[in-house]
Amino acid sequence: GPVGGRDRRAYTLTNSVERLDEQLKSCRDQYLVIKQRNMEELRRLNLSREQDFHAMMANFAIVQSQLMQSSADLWRNTARQFTGETGAGAAESGAAQAEDEALRDD
């Protein structure tokens, strides 16, 4: 009768709830695994970005240094042209170069 049907329905619902609880636990476990993998991947990506940025800045600094050196050489030669220095005297040229290097080191 009605009591047997109610018991069967209660049993079925209890089983359904237990299955849903198991599925929920399984989904939470999968979520934690995926979350952990994503966190590790983000850490790796951030480390890679940082390394790439440092390499880029090092290369930028080298290029800027080379450009500044070329610019300094250009202006030095321009100044020598205006002062009439021809560069014929090796001693003068060497002394000027040593003086330029001393100024750069300061």
CA distance 38 to 44: 10
Supply the angle between the helices 90-105 and 2-83 in degrees, to the nearest 10.
Answer: 140
Distances (CA, A) of 69 to 8, 26, 37: 90, 64, 48
Q: Which of 18-22, 69-73, 83-87, 88-92 has the lowest mean pLDDT?
A: 88-92
Q: What is the pLDDT of residue 105?
A: 64
CA distance 80 to 89: 13
Average pLDDT value for the chain: 86
Q: State pLDDT tens for residues 37-49.
A: 999 999 999 999 9
Contact 87, 93 (CB under 8 A): yes
Query: What ranges do the domains of the chain cover?
Result: 2-105
φ/ψ region of 86 (left if φ > 0, alpha if ψ in -120 to 50, else beta) reads alpha
Query: What is the SS3 assignment for 5?
Result: helix
Q: How many CB atoms lie within 10 A of CB 75?
A: 10
Q: Is the pLDDT of residue 71 over 90?
A: yes
Q: What is the pLDDT of residue 90?
A: 44
Return the percentage of the chain with pLDDT > 70, whole number: 77
pTM of the model as a whole: 0.47
